[in-house]
A and B are shown apart, each in its own frame.
Chain A
Amino acid sequence: MRKLGFLPVLLVLSGCYNVDEGLYALDLSLDISIDPVFSDTGRLHLQAHHAWFGEAELRHPLGLIEAWEGGELSASHAVIEHTLLVPLGLGEGLAVFGFMDVDGDGVHCAVGQDGEPSGIVVTTELDGHSLALDLLLDSACLGPEALHPR
């Protein structure tokens, strides 16, 4: 019975935080390759998503975690290191999407520009705080929704 005395205190304390956010630091090492049929010069754009997001009927592929720029590339192969803060308890797995912004307009493809390569890599193995992934950019103008294997 004495233990129950802490219950009100626990309830009050648990109600004190407006947002109580838990983040899991993940050191990503991305080995990026670009299909030789595409230009290998341009600015690399990357997005990290939960592979799946939501529950039950509302479960769907992809839930954006972070988008960032991977810098200028001038070769068909590069290794990008990035620390990702993954929200705990919000989604399953990890998907990393990337595209090469060849014309430097900041967007993936446009009217008259259909040669910007993209690719996605999806994993469910998130044990530990470091993860190495191979990302091949070999599709023209396809977004993460189209590339997700489901």
Chain B
Amino acid sequence: MMFARVSVLGFALLLLCPPVSAAPSPQETHQRTASRRVFDGIGGGPPKGAWTVGVQGGYPWQTVRGLVGVGKRMAPIAELETALFRRWRPSLGLSMAWVDVPRFRLSGEVLLGWLIQTGAVKRLGPQGILRMRFSAPLGRIAPYLVLGTRHALLLDRRTVVSSSASVTTLEARHNWTGWATLGAAFAINDMLGLDVGMDWPWVDAPTISIPGFHLGIWIGGG
């Protein structure tokens, strides 16, 4: 019985992970890791024509993210992030790989979106994000680090009704959120991958935020 279970598991792994042939050259290694779409998801800057979509679920952050390579390591990004379904951030942006060598990829991202936080502490306003992604593909595994800075513009309206007039004033406040994620991606095959990571946001700095974790699944093609 036990043997049968192990055999089924082994067969499934063989299907998902095709065997590696003879030792590849560095060029082949690069092509091989570069063709794994999960690494584009966590590393950014996919090649022209490649696409990747990922869902990261965890606590307290969940994200859906998609990229399509349109130029030389340049890709539009669409991202939807939520924290416990109370804080939402739909964003659009651009990702670009600055460094892409066999064992290392560095990319930068810029996104513009809208912050929508409901509940007792309401937050509404446009948010801009700058992000850097460092990843180091080693075979099927790629450790990665994401560092980001988020800037929201919160517009407050104050109307004072007095006996003589009603005066409305607008005040814009800057709200900064820092971000770091440390994780690792695992390529099941060229099209499918997983990632696991720890998230360290700094929401409404200087207030300390609780860290989070996530598990992600990525599919891609092109």
Chain A residues with CB under 8 Å of chain B are 15-25, 27, 85, 88, 128-130
Contact = CB atoms under 8 A, between A and B. Distances in A.
Given A15-B124, A16-B125, 18 more contacts: A15-B116, A17-B124, A17-B157, A18-B154, A18-B156, A18-B173, A20-B156, A20-B157, A22-B159, A22-B161, A23-B159, A23-B160, A23-B161, A25-B161, A27-B163, A88-B161, A129-B162, A130-B163
Nearest to A21: B158
Contacts, number: 47
Most buried by B among A15, A22, A129: A22
A44 B55 CA distance: 61
Interface string B181-209: 00000000000000000000000000000
A18 B171 CA distance: 10
A18 B124 contact: yes
Q: Size range of the interface on B? A: 10 to 19
A21 B157 contact: yes
A22 B125 CA distance: 19
Contacts of A17: 124, 155-157
22 contacts: A15-B116, A15-B124, A17-B155, A18-B154, A18-B156, A19-B122, A19-B154, A19-B156, A19-B157, A20-B156, A21-B156, A21-B157, A21-B158, A24-B160, A24-B161, A25-B160, A25-B162, A25-B163, A85-B160, A88-B161, A128-B163, A129-B163
